[in-house]
Amino acid sequence: MKTGSVNNSNSSIMDMFEQGKVLKICAPMVRYSKLAFRSLVRKYNCDICFTPMIVATDFLRSVKARDSEFTTNERDRPLIVQFAAHDAQTLADAACVVAPFSDGVDLNCGCPQRWAMSSGYGACLINKPELVKDMVRHVRNQVDNPNYTASIKIRIHKDLRRTVDLCQKAESAGVSWITVHGRTAEERHQPVHYDAIKTIKDSVSVPVIANGDIKYLRDVESTHQLTGVDGVMAARGLLANPAMFAGYEDTPLQCIWDWVDISVEQGTPFTCFHHHLIYMLERVTSQPERKVFNSLSSTSSVIEYLQNTYGTVQDIET
């Protein structure tokens, strides 16, 4: 693990929910919601960030896994570490390892990928409410910081009564909040079931976060109006525009250069650095431009291309 300072804070993410504003959250994204990207979205009104999903057993077993999967620093807060687990003690042990360097852990109960489901992780857990309840309780009982949160991120069932039952069981075990991706495990790009999210919000007293199809700042407010949720979580919308939560329609030039600066400072591997820029520029570039940009193969060639094509922020200001 590569970490900054230890968390000695008496404050809790739960205090943020008390303030009454709709929280804006960066989703856990495999390969993408790492420290550099979290550092970027925090500059643009993102309230809470998640790490990518980490398999708890690998994390506990391997120093190499810990070093590659969990990197943070003292400015990377509030931070939620998301784990894939199917055993209560394993999740609690992993939570105890990261607790000094984060504000909470989240149990992934929503990943629909085949490898996760076949290993007993992710969305298959929505069909095991007693196990989820046990896992939440173990984290609650074994992390000695009372402000440390234990949350879950779920998908919905076709029969919504089962989802409500799952959420109420998790609440009874002390879950801090629940993020609901408003699709079933089988659905990919179908419309989000906002009515289902609202039903869940109305069925529990803990905060509920809505996830799915948040692409612009206006979607935050419309989702809140439709569902009454306490926060929204974005994934692809933030990849396309990391400044989305600050109200920008498309990625501003300042944000692109912020990403370059952060990546160079933190030593972000080229593939990750380049992929994020491909996402950020997708909506504002033509097909021929994308073809040229996507073929670039070094950080220096990318920086040169950006300077020649868009100029620097200073150029715009003068």
Residues designated catalytic:
111
Tell me if 29 is assigned to a ligand binding site: yes
Tell me if 280 is assigned to a ligand binding site: no
8 Å CB contact between 229 and 223: yes
CA pair distance 21, 262, nearest whole angstrom: 29
Tell me if 53 is assigned to a ligand binding site: no
Q: Which residues contact 299 (CB under 8 A, 6 or more apart)?
A: 263, 264, 270, 273
Query: Which is nearest to 273 in space by CA: 8, 18, 40, 4?
Result: 40
Q: Which residues contact 225 (CB under 8 A, 6 or more apart)?
A: none
Tell me if 236 is assigned to a ligand binding site: yes
Which segments are annotated as binding site for FMN? 28-30, 82, 181, 235-236
Which segments are annotated as binding site? 28-30, 82, 181, 235-236
